[in-house]
Amino acid sequence: MKGFGIVLVALCSALIAILPHKAQAQGFGAREALVIAQPVQFERESNRVEAVGTAEARRSVTLYPAVGDRVESINFEPGDRVEAGQVLVQLDDRRQQVALQQAKLNYKDAERTVERLRSSFDQGAVPQSELDNAVLLRDLAEVEVDRAQTEVDDRQVIVPFDGIVGLTDIEPGDRITEQTMITTIDDRETLLIDFSIPEAAVSILQEGAELTVQPWRYSGPPVTAEIVERDSRINPQTRMFRARAAIDNSKDDFLPGTSFRTQIELLGREFVSIPEAALSWGPNAPFIWLAENQKAKRVEVQIEQRLEGRVLVSGDIQRDDILIVEGIQNLREGQDVKFQNVENVDTAEVTE
């Protein structure tokens, strides 16, 4: 029994001698933390609003005849590109052509009468009143020519501007009236997109704002548009503000009437951009970890804007700081850190 006690005392003495060395070997206390870091990045905040807009041609018109009559000829096919001044539809103008010819003959006769009386007046053979009456009749004959020409012109449906012609329901031989729609013409080299945004977002719609549009049916990249017109007031019933944007459609990719998803973005102030995983939460405020002289430094920040996969924050952060993005779970203030991604971090910046 006495020998067992001696052995027990010896074992305790050996353990006491070994424990300090073992604790030192295991590194009790603050150990060097393995982290992933990157230089601090800055990004401007983005103020964004989305709306639905409808496209219309820069110039668009629905054509109706000036007078009713029988259709003589139709000089277009739906979808044709037509030019200003081109005759689309010719109505029966035989009577009007006869009236125009008669008016021109009357004018020529009146003009000869004036010339004859002016010669006689110079010789004193006729009074001034007779010459004046002949001049009046000549002028009235000229007015009749203009009126007859107008009647002839009204029997033609003319293209007012270059564009694409639409469908028509009329055929040669149809008798139409002033209420009969001939067709439509759209100048769609440029499309105008009408859209409305909430009253609270009007401040975004200013100089420097970038507008992109994308049709709902279109899977390609968004198209950059230019804001060309703004309304003068906010609608008091809907509290919406109306604006109009223009897009280049020279390739004829889109049609008038297309529904567009519009997105307006205005870049604001610049803030530090950090990955969501680099943001921690304290009892009073969120914070991040920086690497300063190979040691962890805790910096409280204020969240300015949340974006997809990242957060814009403000705080005591400089452009040459190193942000710790991974391995922050057990960090303590002043703890030594070791960079796992040495190639992505300029260690000269943190080991001065």
Residue spans of the domains in the chain: they are 33-43+270-349, 49-58+184-269, 65-91+162-181, 93-154
* Percent residues over pLDDT 70 in the chain: 87
The 10s digit of each residue's pLDDT in 272-323 is 999 988 898 888 889 998 998 888 899 999 998 888 888 999 898 998 889 9
Mean pLDDT of 248-267: 87
The 10s digit of each residue's pLDDT in 104-143 is 999 999 999 999 998 888 887 888 888 889 999 999 999 9
Q: Of 295, 300, 301, 302, which is closest to residue 333 (Cα–Cα)?
A: 295
Beta bridge partners of 229: 244
pLDDT score, position 92: 96
Distance, in Å, from the CA atom of 154 to the CA atom of 95, rounded to the nearest integer, reads: 13
For 311, phi then psi, to 5°, come to: -135, 135
pLDDT score, position 22: 40
Domain 49-58+184-269: top CATH class: mainly beta
Q: At 7, is the pLDDT very low, low, confident or very high (cuts 50, 70, 90)?
A: very low
pLDDT score, position 348: 46
Mean pLDDT of 72-100: 95
Q: Of 64, 58, 62, 55, which is closest to residue 165 (Cα–Cα)?
A: 62
For 109, phi then psi, to 5°, come to: -65, -45
Distance, in Å, from the CA atom of 265 to the CA atom of 204, rounded to the nearest integer, reads: 7
Q: At 31, is the pLDDT very low, low, confident or very high (cuts 50, 70, 90)?
A: confident
β-pairing verdict for 310-315 and 259-275: antiparallel
What single-letter amino acid sits at 78?
Answer: P
Distance, in Å, from the CA atom of 11 to the CA atom of 5, rounded to the nearest integer, reads: 10
* Percent residues over pLDDT 90 in the chain: 45
Order of all β-strands in the sheet with 156-158 = 156-158, 87-91, 69-74, 175-176
CA 231 to chain centre: 16
The 10s digit of each residue's pLDDT in 135-187 is 999 999 999 999 999 999 999 999 999 999 999 999 999 999 999 999 999 99
Instruction: For domain 33-43+270-349, give the CATH number.
Output: 2.40.420.20
DSSP H or E run through 14:
helix 2-26
| Rounded (5°) CA angle 40-41-44 | 140
β-pairing verdict for 156-158 and 87-91: antiparallel
Topology adopted by domain 93-154: Helix Hairpins (1.10.287)
